[in-house]
Amino acid sequence: MDVSVDCVVFGYDGEVLKVLLIEQKTQDGGALREKHLQMALPGDLIQSEETLNDCAARVMLELTSIENIFLKQFHSFGDPNRVREDKDQEWLKTYREFPNKRVITIAYYALVSLYDYTPSPSSFAGKTQWMKLEEVPELAFDHNHILDFALQTLKEQLEPHHIGFKLLPKKFTLSQLQHLHELVLDKKLDKRNFRKNVKRMEHVVPLDEKQKGVLHKPAQLFAFNPEALN
Amino acid sequence: MDVSVDCVVFGYDGEVLKVLLIEQKTQDGGALREKHLQMALPGDLIQSEETLNDCAARVMLELTSIENIFLKQFHSFGDPNRVREDKDQEWLKTYREFPNKRVITIAYYALVSLYDYTPSPSSFAGKTQWMKLEEVPELAFDHNHILDFALQTLKEQLEPHHIGFKLLPKKFTLSQLQHLHELVLDKKLDKRNFRKNVKRMEHVVPLDEKQKGVLHKPAQLFAFNPEALN
């Protein structure tokens, strides 16, 4: 039995949620399944003396060139047939000594703010791209299922774990904060109530500073103060 | 690399939270480490074609005789040295072909109401017992760490996932519900606010029935209606 780590990397650019995917390729660098290109979540087998967290950090660095990122384990997936579908055989036969060996995977999610800049991941595994969630095609293995589970986890943990701030720029407006919440929770929120609730939160600190370079009336900026949570 | 499942089984009897532990024994049935008996969480290696959930259910049935129980995966533990401490060598050498082989474990928690009766688990692995959380000794492997993590998870999921009801009898008083919350969340709650909040919850249904066989003034009984959550 092998064990791998897979990473669901979410990015938010102020408009949409995106996920980082990697193009599977053959050993000679060509794309697998030329006719409909197969994408996958970044992941790798765990090395013999590597902790789970170290493996996740290595996957991020090697496959996406992204370092020092918020990474959190959320679930393990172990269906005995999860790597045995026809669509995955070509890649498995290229890269695995025992293509039919069972692989249990421990999944992490990561959060990246794409406001200030979009990390352009260089990957030795193939091309990478930030893909809008609603445009994600059929992925390798059970990666669509893992992505759905990650999104559900993000929904559940957004408020209690205050993780939304990792998707926002350091200085953000309340409109940006509300839009992110609406997107992740998949529902419209009442602007007045949202602002009333946020103003009660000591960890959301109003700054003596406004937006710059916008065409509309510049809005006040806020910052997240994690120390106020203790 | 091997993969196992370990189960943290919590029980609540109206007074204290308990966890189900198993006494490790040698092949001839004797206790390991006679001088200070070693206890462990119930667990086993995953069989070659078994799903993670099936393995957890099998562990519960084989090691504790408890069937049809609420079981939920919460975290995987994979420190390369987690099964290499001296205290665990005797058991590993007795039961494992390769005692030094790395084992990654996928942990589940389970919840059992001990109000109406206490399942007396019969185990082929050794004696089992329900132990009060504050009396748990040093356990095998990293099982104290897994137990702590499970307790933290229980705290986080108690309210959002409505799991407390699985630890209560089918018909419960608001005092019982409050006591359980205080115990899991590890803080005193204001009785008046607690009751006000509960009365707003459509999934906590007042019954036309009172406690029986109590010496004090019998309290009204309530039931959990999971359908009201949708």
Q: What per-residue confidence (pLDDT) applies to B30? A: 59
> Does the beta-carbon distance from B76 to A52 stay under 8 Å?
yes
Which residues in chain B are closer than 8 Å to A51, comparing Cβ atoms?
78-80
- Judge whether residue B215 has pLDDT over 90: no
- Judge whether residue B103 has pLDDT over 70: yes
Which residues in chain A are closer than 8 Å to B77, comparing Cβ atoms?
52
Q: Would A2-157 and A168-229 be classified into the same CATH topology?
A: no
The residue of chain A nearest to residue B156, with distances taken between CA atoms, is A160
B75-97: average pLDDT: 91
Distance CA A157, CA B161 (A): 12
Q: Which fold has domain A168-229?
A: Arc Repressor Mutant, subunit A (1.10.10)
Going by C-alpha positions, the residue among B149, B207, B158 that lies closest to residue B181 is: B158
A146 membership: H or E segment, kind and range = helix A143-157
- C-beta of residue B107 within 8 angstroms of C-beta of residue B53: no
Domain boundaries, chain B: 2-157, 170-229
Is B206 at the interface with chain A, CB within 8 A? no
Backbone angles phi, psi at A96, to 5 degrees: -115, 135
- Which one has a higher pLDDT value, A178 or B36? A178
C-beta contacts of A28-32 below 8 A and 24+ residues apart: A31/A126, A32/A90, A32/A91, A32/A94
- Judge whether residue B173 has pLDDT over 80: yes
Distance CA B218, CA B214 (A): 6
Interface list for A 23-62 with B (CB within 8 A): 46, 48-52
- Which one has a higher pLDDT value, A167 or A215? A167
pLDDT in tens, A48-64: 999 999 999 999 988 77
pLDDT in tens, B137-147: 999 999 999 99
A43 membership: H or E segment, kind and range = strand A43-45
Q: How close is the nearest chain A Cα to the Cα of B24, in Å?
A: 26
Q: What per-residue confidence (pLDDT) applies to A66? A: 80
pLDDT in tens, B17-33: 999 999 887 656 555 55
Q: Where are the beta strands (DSSP E) in A78-158?
A: 103-113, 128-132
Q: How close is the nearest chain A Cα to the Cα of B56, in Å?
A: 12
Q: Which fold has domain A2-157?
A: Nucleoside Triphosphate Pyrophosphohydrolase (3.90.79)
Q: What is the mean pLDDT of chain B?
A: 89
Going by C-alpha positions, the residue among A56, A75, A91, A67 that lies closest to residue B108 is: A75
Of B3, B73, B156, the CB nearest to A3: B3
Q: What per-residue confidence (pLDDT) applies to A63? A: 79
Number of helices (H), then strands (E), belonging to chain A: the values are 5, 9
Q: Give the bridge partners for B129, in sequence order.
A: B21
Distance CA B156, CA A161 (A): 10
Which residues in chain B are closer than 8 Å to A106, comparing Cβ atoms?
76, 78, 104
Distance CA A221, CA A204 (A): 10
Torsion of CA B69, B74, B76, B81, to 10 degrees: -80
Q: How close is the nearest chain A Cα to the Cα of B156, in Å?
A: 8
A16-30: average pLDDT: 80
pLDDT in tens, A125-148: 678 889 999 999 999 999 999 999
Q: Give the bridge partners for A4, in sequence order.
A: A45, A105
Q: What is the mean pLDDT of chain A?
A: 89
Is A102 at the interface with chain B, CB within 8 A? yes
* Sole residue written with tokens 């109206």: B14
Helix (H, G, I), strand (E, B), or coil: what is residue B182? helix
Q: Where are the beta strands (DSSP E) in chain B?
A: 2-12, 17-23, 39-40, 43-45, 70-77, 103-113, 128-132, 204-210, 220-224
- Judge whether residue A4 has pLDDT over 90: yes
Going by C-alpha positions, the residue among A102, A108, A96 that lies closest to residue A80 is: A102
Q: What per-residue confidence (pLDDT) applies to B116? A: 67
Amino acid identity, position A218: P
- Judge whether residue A115 has pLDDT over 60: yes
- Judge whether residue A116 has pLDDT over 70: no
For chain B, how many residues are written? Answer: 230
Would you place residue B64 in the very low, low, confident or very high pLDDT band (cuts 50, 70, 90)? confident
Distance CA B230, CA A100 (A): 41
> Does the beta-carbon distance from A76 to B76 stay under 8 Å?
yes
> Does the beta-carbon distance from A80 to B156 stay under 8 Å?
no
B100-125: average pLDDT: 82
Strands B103-113, B2-12: pairing is: parallel
pTM (predicted TM-score): 0.90
The residue of chain A nearest to residue B104, with distances taken between CA atoms, is A3
- Which one has a higher pLDDT value, A198 or A95? A198
> Does the beta-carbon distance from B78 to A51 stay under 8 Å?
yes
Interface list for A 104-163 with B (CB within 8 A): 104, 106, 156, 160
Number of helices (H), then strands (E), belonging to chain B: the values are 5, 9
Among the residue ranges B15-19, B32-36, B66-70, the one predicted with the least confidence is B32-36
Q: How close is the nearest chain B Cα to the Cα of A73, in Å?
A: 8
Distance CA B22, CA B60 (A): 11
What number of C-beta contacts closer than 8 Å exist between A and B?
A: 55
- Judge whether residue A94 has pLDDT over 90: no
Decide yes or no: CATH 3.40.50.720 for domain B170-229: no
